[in-house]
Structure 1
């Protein structure tokens, strides 16, 4: 796995763990939603500034995005699509 794929894997893992959609993460980081998708797929070269913005929204150190991936782990699942139910 190359570095871009590692960053993408970790970004998706951390985003889903926080319950954030790509759209919400992008909005709070001040970047485009489609850019977040490309980063998660490992097709985008990310700048240090963008990594800092994403890490800040996720409340983690930038180093978390570079964490080594265990090859036995399955790809992090996505969030359930659709709108969240309103509380009664």
Structure 2
């Protein structure tokens, strides 16, 4: 089978187009990955900050109201025990 120069050129151009498309897709996927990583890191930091803030508020409440905090903890233990028993 003999390939004409024009056919060879078209095949070569098509191969280059696919190679360039593959490179562009790879770059787009890398950009999406980096953007997703940045967003996830930001959300993670926000969740950690909120959790720490809530934990500090809970500690302050327990220090200021030790008997009430103990009663809430006991009530929570009873409810959890009843739930896990089923």
Structure possessing the higher radius of gyration over alpha carbons: 2
TM range, normalised to the smaller chain? Answer: under 0.3
**TM-score, scaled relative to structure 1:** 0.23
**TM-score, scaled relative to structure 2:** 0.23
Q: Give 1 or 2: higher helix fraction.
A: 2
**Which protein has greater RCO, CA pairs closer than 8 Å, 6+ apart?**
1
